[in-house]
Amino acid sequence: MAIIQTEAIVLKTFDFRETSKIANFFSLEEGKVSGVLKGIRKDPRKFGSSLEPFSVNHIVYYRYSNSDLHLISQCDMRSFFLPIRQDLKRALAAHYMAELINRMMPSEMKNQKIYHLMIEFLSTLEVTDDIDRLIRLFQIKALLFSGFRPHLDACVSCKKKVAGKARFSMKEGGLVCPHCKVHDQTHPISPGTVATILHAEQAPWNDAQRLQLTKTVRDELKYILNNFLVFHLGKKIRSERYV
Ligand SMILES: [Zn+2]
């Protein structure tokens, strides 16, 4: 049994037995971890955190080798993101982030790029006046950092470069040129949208926030990224309808 200390973002909590709670965290050191906080409902002061979703906490836990449910011995709140909680639209976007990462990431696989991406997302969400763009940039980078970036460099069928009009295949996760046919759900994708995704993947976080997006690009990004994620995760994300 090892003792682990790490910063961690709350993804989800639920009641457990009479007095306890189980929390899913995304942690800096260990990726997604689940743990029991014994007695937290009977004595909320036992831990220095109310375990609000998307809050950042310092946690200490005993890691069991024969279970993926561990014992949290300490949990202290570090960041609460009050400006997000005071604004319904911002709060819904943060809940979406937590639900997406909970669904997308496997348990106990360290991924510090994803952790830092979540922190950058929350910090930007406190102040941005363009929540829609922020969500799309988060989706693009989360796909990249988790190893599921869409294939935009060439047609997924004939492997040739695609110039001009193309479609995006949800199942194949990439571009289909006008000469190829695939038997699944596709959606038109304009060169501007392809260029936006490629740029957003490469650009540092703060530079990506300055991307100017036309209405067409916004609409295509929303449809393609939301549907590609559903296809990839095999399940709809409940909070997606708010973003
Ligand atoms: Zn093709």
Pairing of strands 31-37, 56-63: unpaired
Q: Ligand 1 center to residue 186 CA distance, Å?
A: 13
CATH number, position 209: 1.20.1440.120
Model pLDDT, residue 28: 98
Q: Ligand 1 center to residue 154 CA distance, Å?
A: 8
Model pLDDT, residue 164: 83
Helices (DSSP H) in the chain: which residue ranges? 82-85, 88-104, 112-125, 131-145, 191-202, 205-208, 215-233
Model pLDDT, residue 239: 82
Model pLDDT, residue 70: 97
Model pLDDT, residue 163: 85
Which residues in the chain land under pLDDT 50? Answer: none
Model pLDDT, residue 214: 97
One domain for residues 50 and 118: no
Strand, helix or coil for residue 25: strand
Q: Ligand 1 center to residue 181 CA distance, Å?
A: 8
Q: Are 163 and 186 in contact (CB under 8 A)?
A: no
CATH number, position 74: 2.40.50.140
Write 101-105 long-range contacts (CB < 8 A, 24+). Answer: 101/11, 101/26, 101/32, 101/142, 102/11, 102/12, 102/24, 102/26, 102/32, 103/233, 103/235, 103/237, 104/142, 104/146, 104/229, 104/233, 105/26, 105/31, 105/32, 105/146
Q: Ligand 1 center to residue 224 CA distance, Å?
A: 19
Surrounding residues of ion ligand 1, Cβ less than 5 A: 155, 157-158, 177, 180
Model pLDDT, residue 31: 98
Model pLDDT, residue 18: 96
One domain for residues 93 and 11: no
Model pLDDT, residue 235: 80
Model pLDDT, residue 134: 98
Model pLDDT, residue 242: 79
One domain for residues 66 and 115: no
Q: Ligand 1 center to residue 215 CA distance, Å?
A: 27
Domain that holds residue 64: 2-80
Q: Ligand 1 center to residue 179 CA distance, Å?
A: 5
Model pLDDT, residue 85: 98
Q: Ligand 1 center to residue 6 CA distance, Å?
A: 47
Q: Ligand 1 center to residue 216 CA distance, Å?
A: 23
Q: Ligand 1 center to residue 211 CA distance, Å?
A: 29
